[in-house]
Amino acid sequence: MPKKHIELTDAQYKTLIKLAFLGEWVLNAHNVESKYPKEQQVLNHLLSKFKTFNAEELVHEVDEDEDYEVEDEVVMGYLEQLIEFREDTFWELLVNKLVGRDLIEILLAKDPEALKNFSEEEREAMIYKLEKFYKKEFDTAGLETLRVVNEDNVDPRLN
């Protein structure tokens, strides 16, 4: 396959390093062996051009095998942003999972005949109400009030 070329400023290259590092990190961070070697190779190739783009403060060569790494202090800065992203997505995912679970429970508890007349607008209104409940709760208390309870306890959402 013929190679293509793109032109980047030094600043654009440094931004591309950040984006590529974060993307590869998301794919491979929790694996002992890389599950995405192609992505790892592309990142390494991109890092190998660091001198061309005056990015010596971002990247260093690890060994003679032409392996490159992002500098540790730079990695820490990138990971701070990733941690912030994970925190935000954690709450959204938790709310979505709980709303999905609750919606199924509510719908299964309904009379099958009532479900036939259950409109899309009613479903959306129920989702909105459940999302609002959980978002308010988590904004106020975080995980402090989140508990796994027995089924014989009263569900506070139904009060």
Give the tens place of pLDDT for each residue, 120-152: 898 899 999 999 999 999 999 998 888 877 666
C-alpha distances in Å from residue 26, one per residue of 61, 101, 141: 22, 27, 29
Give the tens place of pLDDT for each residue, 73-103: 999 999 999 999 999 999 999 999 999 999 8
CA angle 96, 133, 104 (to 5 degrees): 50
Q: How high is the pLDDT of residue 29?
A: 83
User: Per-domain residue ranges for the chain?
Assistant: 10-70, 86-158
Q: What are phi and psi of 92, to 5 degrees?
A: -65, -45
C-alpha distances in Å from residue 155, one per residue of 4, 23, 83, 141: 60, 41, 33, 17
Considering the entire predicted model, what is its pTM?
Answer: 0.70
pLDDT above 60 for 156: no
